Amino acid sequence: TFEVIFVGRSNVGKSTLLKNLTGRNVRTGKRPGVTLKPTHLYFDDFLITDMPGFGFMSGVTKEKSEDVKNNIVQYIEGHADRIMLAVQVIDGPAFVEITERWDSRDEIPIDLELHDFLEEMEITTIIAANKMDRVKETEKDELLTEIVEIFGYGTDENGESTGVGWKESGALVAPVSARGGDIRPLISHLKNEFHKMKRDDLFKHF
Ligand code: GDP
């Protein structure tokens, strides 16, 4: 089995993106802490896994939110041998503010924690920055650079920007708008990674 996992905070548009990419519906109306289990989409020996959304929402305690995160980590550890790729979906326009809010509470944002964990597990991770339709064309580059720098790309050992910009930062970033059906940058990253793994055949599922 060749598995690709999709991770992301609740409401970033992960279901919409998966629907767009595969034409199939994943569970919808899920709330963080309500669904702890991942959902699978099967395509022969190819498996796409929608991990439960994490983060806070009204009615969900911090403990429950931690449960979701721990479940995700456990799942990844348990299936590391077959997880070939991860797509980390973020809400592009909201991301900076969300991470700053965590930072001000002296906590590590879950998104960053997960990203580092995936890197430790040596799982190639594509950052899908969704909802880019909400960002002005002239502000996109600046926002994407800010996002990759938060993830630790394009920065020096002190975390200061090196000024390279998102495209040269080494991060795999796909600015997309799932609702608008504009997901080509994600498709081309997936195509590239499948090619590197000599699994060009998997591309037929998209
Ligand atoms: P999930 O919880 O991550 O699975 O998120 P959903 O796919 O359920 O989407 C959450 C909300 O974001 C819905 O209201 C979607 O219509 C909206 N949404 C999803 N993708 C986009 C997008 O590309 N642009 C905008 N503006 N809204 C989006």
User: Which atom of ligand 1 is closest in space to residue 134's alpha carbon?
Assistant: 26
Is the shortest distance between the CB of 131 and ligand 1 below 6 Å?
A: yes
Is residue 66 classed as helix, strand or coil in its secondary structure? Answer: helix
Is residue 90 classed as helix, strand or coil in its secondary structure? Answer: strand
Q: Ligand 1: distance of its center to the CA of 159 in Å?
A: 31
Facing residues of 3 across strands? Answer: 47, 83
Nearest CA to ligand 1 atom 19: 13
Which tokens go with 28?
């919808």
191: Cα within 13 Å, side-chain hemisphere: 10
Chain center to CA of 35: 18
Instruction: Calculate Rg over the CA atoms of the chain.
Output: 16
Is the shortest distance between the CB of 178 and ligand 1 below 6 Å?
A: yes
User: Which atom of ligand 1 is closest in space to residue 9's alpha carbon?
Assistant: 3
Is the shortest distance between the CB of 133 and ligand 1 below 6 Å?
A: yes
Q: Which domains does the chain have, with CATH numbers?
A: 2-205 (3.40.50.300)
Q: How far lies 40's CA from each of 12, 21, 99, in Å?
A: 19, 14, 29
ipTM of the complex: 0.99
The tens-digit pLDDT sequence of the chain (206 residues) is 999 999 999 899 999 999 999 999 887 555 554 566 899 999 989 999 999 888 766 666 777 778 888 999 999 999 999 999 999 999 999 999 989 988 888 888 889 999 999 999 999 999 999 999 999 999 999 999 999 999 999 999 999 999 999 999 999 999 999 999 999 999 999 999 999 999 999 988 88
Q: In what order do the strands lie in the sheet with 39-43?
A: 39-43, 46-50, 2-8, 83-91, 124-130, 173-175
